Amino acid sequence: MQPIQINNPAEIEAFLSKIELKGKGFTTDCLLMDVFEAGLDYPDYLKAEGEDPNASYEGKSPAWAKYHMRQGKRVFMVYGEPGKDRRTHFSETP
């Protein structure tokens, strides 16, 4: 998978709504809902990279393995690698 970077909030929301994560650890049917639940209601930066056979985009696998989303000082990250449990991390800088 080629790395992707998006800086348009509307495009980010559309992209995240098409991401589904299965397998071990953190899973979701729609990554956008988890981003909203993490407190990013209008993410303005997204970077996705790597390849995960348990992830899908628009119903097609593989998709990206790592997702880094940001809104101001809030950051939500999803890390996945083949053979390892997928995990998330949230931080907010002062």
- The per-residue pLDDT for range 56-72, each reduced to its tens digit, is 999 999 999 999 999 99
Rounded-to-integer distance, Cα 50 and Cα 7, Å: 19
What type of residue sits at position 91? S
Confidence (pTM): 0.93
Residue linked to tokens 């930066």: 45
Q: Whole-angstrom Cα distance, residue 82 to residue 29?
A: 18
Encoded amino acid at 87, one letter? R
pLDDT digits (tens, 9 = 90+) for 7-46: 999 999 999 999 999 999 999 999 999 999 999 999 999 9
Domain ranges of the chain: 4-92
8 Å CB contact between 25 and 86 = yes
- For residue 40, give both structure tokens: 């990013």
